Each structure stands twice: as structure tokens, then as C-alpha cells.
């Protein structure tokens, strides 16, 4: 397992290793040394984005790469540009749904795919052997206007791709609410959907470098849902900071997860003979209700490990055309190799128009089972804690208490220093007790790991 890469690239606090200027410079240099000749770089709207991008570009250029800066652009746009343009690699400076003080680096190959685990490990080996001592840039003072400077060719190429995926000439007379999370979607989504004829109400669009994902977007979608009711919209979409995912709300203001979206898309594609394998790829986090609803359509649900890259790998291996995660990463294999919140929103709008049914009606065939999610901060000790005897014992006890009518999943996040607990079953109160018990044991064991060595020895005695 790579120690530098998580489930979605490199991520951490901006200004601290591995996202300090010197390390980012070395990362860029080593990435270019892997044969990257023409690289496109994009970023989201975090205040640290400009100086991280500068350090990265200097590193890429120092190793001979020709670099094009796309400015602020959604992560899936970089995937599209790598696949359809002259670029043989791409990098996105983004921490996705994380708070503004974090940042990250996402890497794409010339085919528009994220690096494989094998490629990540090879990259780490190269980085560890690099002894570059070249001068690296110091973080510049942040200038807000820089957040909205985008290479028009890159932006227009991505907008053209989105238009080409639409099978209706206009989105009129739909009324939509878009929550842009004060992130990268602000550059594309409002203008595009308005140009396509939709009546658009936009919230949380203007970025100031620190408001990305702050009480808004896919992680906090309730403001969007309330706006749907207030404006009598057909539905709403809340994107995350780099717009690679979306959470929706139907016209009643009911929030719809990625599982709902997968169900609506699968049924629509199936009826049009465009789901040839009769399979949908999801992760272990998808609700059991999705599995049951798809089975009623004679469609199988295939589960992978968490991460949209794992979903895509499974799709490509078996020739599947649809996959995604409950968090709103949806991969439409007919069009893209990456999760794309704006593309997902366009496709759902198209289905509403073509079928002349509301989003509430389209998603009515899916009944989710009660599911609880909780994140427990653990610093950098997540893996140690999951190997702790008492934590393992508590998890096993909880699983037994579900008596085969539910499931429990406890894992280290690949994007944040937390342990994530997921419980699913029939009795919500019992699930709350289960999750609380596991979380409490993780905190107790964490305190034990933090205690001085002689204290831990005395406790064992």
C-alpha cells in the first residue's frame, strides 16, 4: 500500500509535506520524468491553489515537460482534455470535498484515467530517489482575481464535451438549483445550463479562496434542497469543490444520493438497451436497497473497494457502462473515464424531459435501508487502531448483534485522517448504538496508543 497516495491522489494540509513548495516541485519533476511530454494542469478555488500550481509547473518544466495551465476547472475536465486533446498527462490541484486549508494532487494519464496503484508505487519509488536541490518557488501572496483566470480553450473544450453528451436540444422548461460549493463548478455549470435553456438559480458560487465546501455543496446539500422548495424548482444539484460529484434533491426537497442516481440512470439505460451487461458497479458503501431495487430490474450490483478509480477499473474489466458511489461520483462509461457532477446533472435533466416524469417519480423504485455513517478523527494512527485487539473485538461483537440482517464496515479514509464507520440494517436505534460503541472504543484505544510506553506496559500487566 502506498503511503503517499490515498484513495484519490495525494492529499494533506497545504504548506505542509507533502504539499509544501519543495515537495510539490519534486513531485512535478518526477511526474514529468515518467515520460510526460505535454501536461495540462487545472485547479479548484482554494487560496493555496495558485502557489501549489506554480511549484508543480516549475517542477514539470524543469524535467522538460510542456505545460498548459487550464486555471480553475473541474477535475473531470482534465480527464477529458487528456483523452481528447494533445496532452499525454494531467494534474489537478484539488482536495475535492475537504476544507479550504487542505489541498491535493490528482494525476491522469493520456487516456484520461487516474494512475493505477502500480503506477503510484513506481512514482513513489522515483520520488524517494530524487535528490533535486533546485530552487523552488515561495508561496505567493494570494490574489483573488487569479481564481477566475481560465484558459478559454480548455474551458470551451470541456463545455463542448458536455454539450455533445446531451441528447436533447434544450433543457427548457426545467427550473434547476445549482450549489457550486464556491468551487470549480462555478466556472462552468451556471452558464452552461442557462445557455441550454434551463432556468437556473445559483447558490454558493463566488469563491474567495476560503469558502470552498464551507457549509455548502455535496457535503452539505440541505441549503440546496431548501432552495429547491423555495424556488419551486424541478430539482437541484450540489457539487463538491472540484465538481467530480453531485448530490441531488428532487422537487420535494428530498435529498438523493449517488445510489438514487445510479438507480435512475440504470433503469433509463436498460429500457433503451444501453446497459448491455445488465450490471452496475458500485462500492461496498452502496446501500443494500440499491442492490434489491436493481435485482427487481434483473440488473446485478457489483461491489468494489471505496474509490471511483476502483469502480472504473471494474467497469473496464467487464465492459460495464455505469458505476459510481453513494457520495455522488458517477461514471458514465459511454462518455467519460471520470466521475463528473455536471455531466450527471445534465443526464438526469435529460431523463426528466424525455420521460416526462419528475425526479421523485423516477427514483420511487428505490427504498434505502437505514444506514449510518460516522467519521472518527484519528490523526495518522488509523491503521494501528483498526488492528487493535479491543477495536476488532468490538466490531465483531456488533456484527454478531446484527444477526445477519445488516452489515458493518469500518475503514480508514483515503482522503482524511479519520476512521469511517458505516452501519446498515433494519433498526435505526440499534445501528446508532452499534456505531456509538465502535466510535467510543476507537477513541479509548487511541488514548491508549498516545499514552507513554511505561503506562501501556503497566496496563498490560
Domains 257-368 and 371-460 share a fold: no
pLDDT the model gives residue 109: 94
pLDDT the model gives residue 459: 40
CATH homologous superfamily, domain 371-460: Alpha-D-phosphohexomutase, C-terminal domain (3.30.310.50)
Which residue, among 237, 99, 78, has the nearest Cα to 154 in the 3D structure? Answer: 78
CATH homologous superfamily, domain 257-368: Alpha-D-Glucose-1,6-Bisphosphate, subunit A, domain 3 (3.40.120.10)
The pTM score is: 0.86
As annotated, the active-site residues are 96
Mean pLDDT for each consecutive 10-residue tract of the chain (461 residues)? 79 95 94 92 96 93 92 96 93 96 96 92 90 56 40 91 97 98 96 98 94 97 98 98 98 98 98 97 94 97 93 95 97 96 98 98 95 88 88 92 86 86 90 94 88 46 40
Cβ atoms of 119 and 136 closer than 8 Å: no
What fold is seen in the domain 173-255? Alpha-D-Glucose-1,6-Bisphosphate; Chain A, domain 3 (3.40.120)
pLDDT the model gives residue 136: 58
Class (C level, CATH) for 10-133: alpha beta
For the chain, the domains span: 10-133, 173-255, 257-368, 371-460
3-state secondary structure the chain: CCCCCECCEEEEECCCCCCCHHHHHHHHHHHHCCCCCEEEEEECCCCCHHHHHHHHHHHHHHCCCEEEEEEECCHHHHHHHHHHCCCCEEEEECCCCCCCCEEEEEEEECCCCECCHHHHHHHHHHHHHCCCCCCCCCCCCCCHHHHHCCCHHHHHHHHHHHHHHCCCCCCCCCEEEEECCCCHHHHCHHHHHHHCCCEEEEECCCCCCCCCCCCCCCCCCHHHHHHHHHHCCCEEEEECCCCCCEEEEECCCCEECHHHHHHHHHHHHHHCCCCCCCEEEEECCCCHHHHHHHHHCCCEEEEECCCHHHHHHHHHHHCCCEEECCCCCEEECCCCCCCCHHHHHHHHHHHHHHHCCCHHHHCCCCCCCCEEEEEEECCCCHHHHHCCHHHHHHHHHHHHHCCCCCEEEEEECCCCCEEEEEEECCCHHHHHHHHHHHHHHHHHHHHHHHCCHHHHHHHHC
Amino acid at each position: 500500500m502506498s503511503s503517499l497516495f490515498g484513495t484519490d491522489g495525494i492529499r494533506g494540509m497545504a504548506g505542509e509535506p507533502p504539499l509544501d513548495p519543495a515537495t510539490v516541485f519534486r513531485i512535478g519533476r518526477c511526474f514529468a520524468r515518467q515520460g510526460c511530454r505535454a501536461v495540462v494542469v487545472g485547479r479548484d478555488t482554494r487560496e493555496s491553489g495558485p502557489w501549489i500550481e506554480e511549484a508543480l509547473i516549475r517542477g514539470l518544466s524543469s524535467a522538460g515537460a510542456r505545460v498548459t495551465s487550464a486555471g480553475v476547472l473541474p477535475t473531470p475536465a482534465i480527464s477529458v482534455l487528456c483523452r481528447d486533446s494533445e496532452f499525454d498527462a494531467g494534474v489537478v490541484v484539488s482536495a475535492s470535498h475537504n476544507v479550504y486549508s487542505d489541498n491535493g494532487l490528482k494525476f491522469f494519464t493520456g487516456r484520461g484515467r487516474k494512475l493505477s496503484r502500480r503506477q503510484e508505487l513506481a512514482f513513489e519509488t522515483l520520488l524517494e530517489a530524487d535528490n533535486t536541490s533546485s530552487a523552488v518557488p515561495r508561496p505567493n501572496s494570494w490574489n483573488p482575481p487569479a481564481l477566475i483566470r481560465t484558459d478559454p480553450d480548455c474551458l470551451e473544450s470541456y463545455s463542448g464535451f458536455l454539450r455533445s453528451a446531451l441528447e436533447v436540444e434544450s433543457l427548457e422548461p426545467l427550473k434547476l438549483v445549482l450549489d457550486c460549493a464556491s468551487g470549480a463548478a462555478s466556472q462552468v455549470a451556471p452558464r452552461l445550463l442557462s445557455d441550454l435553456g434551463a432556468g437556473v438559480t445559483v447558490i454558493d458560487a463566488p469563491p474567495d479562496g476560503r469558502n470552498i465546501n464551507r457549509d455548502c455543496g455535496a457535503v452539505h446539500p440541505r441549503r440546496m434542497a431548501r432552495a429547491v422548495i423555495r424556488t419551486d424548482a424541478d430539482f437541484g444539484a450540489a457539487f463538491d469543490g472540484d465538481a467530480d460529484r453531485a448530490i441531488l434533491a428532487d422537487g420535494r426537497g428530498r435529498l438523493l444520493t449517488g445510489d438514487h442516481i445510479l438507480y435512475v440512470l440504470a433503469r433509463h439505460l436498460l429500457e433503451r438497451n444501453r446497459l448491455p451487461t445488465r450490471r452496475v458497479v458500485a462500492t461496498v458503501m452502496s446501500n443494500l436497497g440499491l442492490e434489491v431495487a436493481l435485482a427487481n430490474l434483473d440488473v446485478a450490483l457489483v461491489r468494489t473497494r471505496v474509490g471511483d478509480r476502483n469502480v472504473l477499473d471494474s467497469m473496464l474489466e467487464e465492459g460495464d457502462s455505469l458505476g459510481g458511489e453513494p457520495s455522488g461520483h458517477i461514471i458514465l462509461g459511454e462518455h467519460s473515464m471520470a466521475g463528473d457532477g455536471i455531466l450527471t446533472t445534465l443526464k438526469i435533466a435529460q431523463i426528466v424531459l424525455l420521460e416526462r416524469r419528475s425526479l421523485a417519480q423516477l427514483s420511487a423504485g428505490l427504498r434505502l435501508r437505514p444506514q449510518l455513517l460516522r467519521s472518527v478523527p484519528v490523526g495518522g494512527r488509523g491503521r494501528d487502531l483498526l488492528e487493535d485487539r479491543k477495536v476488532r473485538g468490538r466490531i465483531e461483537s456488533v456484527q454478531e448483534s446484527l444477526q445477519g440482517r445488516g452489515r458493518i464496515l469500518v475503514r480508514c479514509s483515503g482522503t482524511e485522517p479519520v476512521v469511517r464507520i458505516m452501519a446498515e440494517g433494519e433498526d435505526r436505534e440499534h445501528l446508532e448504538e452499534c456505531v456509538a460503541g465502535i466510535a467510543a472504543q476507537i477513541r479509548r484505544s487511541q488514548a491508549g496508543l498516545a499514552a507513554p510506553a511505561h503506562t501501556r506496559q503497566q496496563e498490560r500487566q
